[in-house]
Amino acid sequence: MAERVNIIEELLADSESEGEENFEGFNLEDLEDSKCVDESNYDVLNDELWSDGDRVPFPLNFEQVPGLQNEISNTDSPLEFFELFVDDNDYENISQETNKYANQFLNSGMPLKEKSRFHKWIDTTGLEFKKFLALIIAMGLVCQIDVSEYWTVNPVTSTPFFPSVMSRDRFLLILAFLHLNDDANYIPRGSEGFNPLFKLGSFYNKFLLYTGRSNIQPSKNGATYDLVMDLLRNHFEKGHILYCDNYYSSPQLFMDLWVLGTGATGTVRPYRKGIPEKMKKIQLTNRGDTATAHYGPLSCLKYQDSKTVYLISTTESSTNVETGHHCFIQNQIKVRPSMVQTYDKKMGAVDRHNQMIENYKLPIKTLKWWKKLFFHIMNVAIVNSYILYKESCKAATPMLQRNFRRKLVEQLIQTSGATIGVHVGRPAPRILERLTGRHFLARLEEGGKMLLRQCIVCGPAEKEMLPSMRPGEKRPSRCGHTTSYKCKECNVALCLTPCFEIYHTKLEYVLAYKRMKLSSED
Please indicate whether residue 389 or residue 59 has the higher confidence score (pLDDT): 389
Q: Binning pLDDT at 50, 70 and 90, where does residue 20 land?
A: very low
**Parallel, antiparallel or unpaired: strands 290-295 and 51-52:** antiparallel
pLDDT category at 198 given cuts 50, 70, 90 is: confident
Amino acid at the residue 212: G
For 253-298, how does the pLDDT look when each residue is reduced to its tens digit (9 = 90+)? 999 999 999 999 999 999 888 898 888 888 888 888 899 999 989 9
pLDDT at 17: 35
Q: Which of 167-176, 429-438, 450-459 has the lowest mean pLDDT?
A: 429-438
Q: Which of 352 and 83 is assigned the larger pLDDT?
A: 83
Average pLDDT for the chain? 81
Name 336's bridge partners. Answer: 321
pLDDT at 480: 80
| Cα angle 10, 220, 29; round to 5 | 40
Give the count of alpha carbons within 13 A of 93, CB side only: 12
According to the model, what pLDDT value does residue 109 have? 84
Q: Which residues contact 515 (CB under 8 A, 6 or more apart)?
A: none
446: Cβ contacts below 8 Å, ≥ 6 apart: none
DSSP label of 190: T
Whose CA is closest to 132, among 79, 87, 91, 90? 91
367: pLDDT confidence band, cut at 50, 70 and 90?
Answer: confident
**pLDDT of 464:** 83
Q: What is the model's pLDDT at position 24?
A: 31
Is the predicted pLDDT of residue 42 greater than 60, yes or no?
Answer: no
pLDDT at 22: 32
Q: What is the predicted pLDDT for the residue at 469?
A: 56
Whether residue 350 is contained in a domain is answered as no
Residue 122 has pLDDT above 70, yes or no: yes
33 — pLDDT class (breaks 50, 70, 90):
very low
Number of structural domains the chain divides into:
1
CA angle 441, 443, 448 (to 5 degrees): 155
- Whether 350 shows a pLDDT value over 60: the answer reads yes
What's the pTM?
A: 0.68
Q: Would you tell me how many other CB atoms lie within 10 Å of the CB of residue 82? A: 25
CA distance 242 to 384: 18
367 belongs to a structural domain: no
Half-sphere exposure of 357 (CA within 13 A, CB side): 17
Q: Is residue 397 a part of any domain in this protein?
A: no
Please tell me the predicted confidence (pLDDT) of residue 412: 95
Q: How many whole angstroms separate alpha carbon 76 and alpha carbon 390?
A: 10
Q: Is residue 456 part of a domain?
A: yes
- The answer as to whether 246 is a domain residue is no
511 occurs within a structural domain:
yes
- The stretch 390-405 carries a mean pLDDT of 86
Check pLDDT > 80 for residue 116: yes
Q: Determine contact, residues 189/150, Cβ cutoff 8 Å.
A: no
How far is the C-alpha of 430 from the C-alpha of 439, rounded, in Å? Answer: 11
Domain contains 76: no
Altogether, the residues listed in the chain come to a count of 522
Q: What is the average per-residue pLDDT within 401-427?
A: 81
* pLDDT at residue 309, as a whole number: 92
As a whole-number percent, the residues of the chain with pLDDT over 70 amount to 82
The rounded distance, in Å, linking the Cα atoms of 498 and 37 is 83
Domain with 506 in it: 431-468+475-521
Stretch 396-403: mean pLDDT, rounded? 88
Among 259, 268, 273, smallest CA distance to 313 is for: 268
220 in a structural domain: no
**Residue 237, amino acid:** E
